[in-house]
Amino acid sequence: MLRVRPPLTSASSHPRVPFFKQVAMARSKEVFWWSLFSAGGALSALFLPAIVAVTGLAVPHMAGNEHAIRHDVHQTLVWWPVRLVFLGVIGLSFFHCAHRMRHTAMDLGLRHASTALGVLFYGGAIAGCIAAACVLRTW
Amino acid sequence: MKGPYIRPIPFDWFMQTAAYRRFMVRELTSVFIAGYLIFLLVFLHRAGQDDKAFGALLECLRSPVSLVLHLLVLGAALFHSITWFNLTPQAMPVRIGEERLPDALVAVLGGYLPWIVVSVVIFWGVLG
């Protein structure tokens, strides 16, 4: 039940590629997505509760008017390493969520559609990364 | 018929035991987190525009619906953090020589302590 290790996915049977190589290829692909899932899981666990509390609870209910808050956001993000951290947290968290949603959908009976789910969710995560890069680049 | 036989599993398998239900709740936190990440991009984008655009977003943020949604997301994020830090030592045990460090110690040093530091830095940066 605990998804702690990349699963050994069943390779499609292609006659020209030996079976052990198919398994190795399928496995290395899984390891790639799993490493992004793992990194995103760690970063979202460390950063997101505090960021949610700030943007959703502290900013609208405690701080001053919109001009003062925008000024504070600018003060924070004008330093490029902060923007880089934001890009890493947001981008990798997207991959974390995509991996979990894909595997949950597979666990709920869509195992035969794993490739389509991968395109959908990992594609969405890539789009999210591009959007994050665009937002944080033009600061 | 090609391929291995796959045993049919009932759709509501995760309702069978408490552990399965917790597993499913943990997986579903990713839906809330993904939704919040999209909101966060909108927030940063609007903050980069003018006062009028950001003021409109702040009005939305002050609505009760927004408050409820943010509390739900905060709950999901906290559940993810706690389950993640508790699982990490099981997934990646830390050994010193032959001895395996206790999971609780690894969870605190590698998870909860950095979590507190990061959270304090963020709150200090915002409120300080």
- As a whole number of angstroms, the distance between CA B80 and CA B27 comes to 9
pLDDT band at B17 (very low <50, low <70, confident <90, very high): confident
In a domain, A126, yes or no: yes
Q: Is the pLDDT of residue B74 over 60?
A: yes
A83/B97: higher pLDDT: A83
- As a whole number of angstroms, the distance between CA A116 and CA A36 comes to 19
Question: What is the average pLDDT value for chain B, to the nearest integer?
Answer: 88
In a domain, A113, yes or no: yes
In a domain, A65, yes or no: yes
**In the predicted model, what is the mean pLDDT of residues B100-123?**
90
In a domain, A8, yes or no: no
Residues 18-37 on B with a CB inside 8 Å of A are 19-20, 23-24, 27-28, 30-31, 33-34, 36-37
A90/B14: higher pLDDT: A90
Per cent of chain B over pLDDT 70 is 98
Comparing CA positions, the residue from A28, A45, A32, A11 lying closest to residue A122 is: A32
Q: Is the pLDDT of residue B47 over 50?
A: yes
Which residue's entry shows tokens 């979590």? Answer: B115
Comparing CA positions, the residue from A32, A47, A34, A27 lying closest to residue A4 is: A34
Q: How far is CA A107 from CA A54, A101, A120, B24, in A?
A: 34, 10, 16, 10
In a domain, A22, yes or no: no
What is the pLDDT at residue A21?
Answer: 65
Which residue's entry shows tokens 């003018």? Answer: B50
Q: Are B42 and B57 in contact (CB under 8 A)?
A: yes
In a domain, A91, yes or no: yes
* DSSP SS3 for B99: strand
What is the pLDDT at residue A14?
Answer: 54
Count: domains in chain A: 1
> How many CB atoms neighbour CB B93 within 10 A?
11
B124/A8: higher pLDDT: B124
Q: What is the CATH number of the domain that holds A111?
A: 1.20.1300.10
Structural domains of chain B sorted by starting position, each given as residue range(s) with its CATH number in brackets: 16-127 (1.20.1300.10)
Residues 86-125 on B with a CB inside 8 Å of A are 87-88, 90-91, 111, 114-115, 118-119, 122-123, 125
What is the pLDDT at residue A109?
Answer: 81
Q: Are A11 and A19 in contact (CB under 8 A)?
A: yes
In a domain, A21, yes or no: no
A131 contacts in chain B (CB < 8 Å)? 41
What is the pLDDT at residue A1?
Answer: 46
The set of long-range contacts for B109-117, using a CB threshold of 8 Å and a minimum separation of 24, is B110/B85, B111/A45, B111/B84, B111/B85, B111/B86, B112/B85, B114/A46, B115/A45, B115/A46, B115/A49, B115/B81, B115/B85
Q: What is the pLDDT along chain A (139 residues), one digit of tens a residue?
A: 455 555 555 545 555 666 666 666 667 777 888 889 989 999 999 999 999 999 888 888 876 777 888 888 888 888 889 999 999 999 999 999 999 999 999 888 888 888 899 899 999 999 999 999 999 987 6
Return the half-sphere exposure (C-beta side, CA atoms, 13 A cut-off) of residue B69.
15
Interface confidence, given as ipTM, is 0.87
- Strands B95-96, B99-100: pairing is antiparallel
**In the predicted model, what is the mean pLDDT of residues B89-105?**
84
User: At A28, which amino acid appears?
Assistant: S
Kindly report the pTM of this predicted structure.
Answer: 0.83
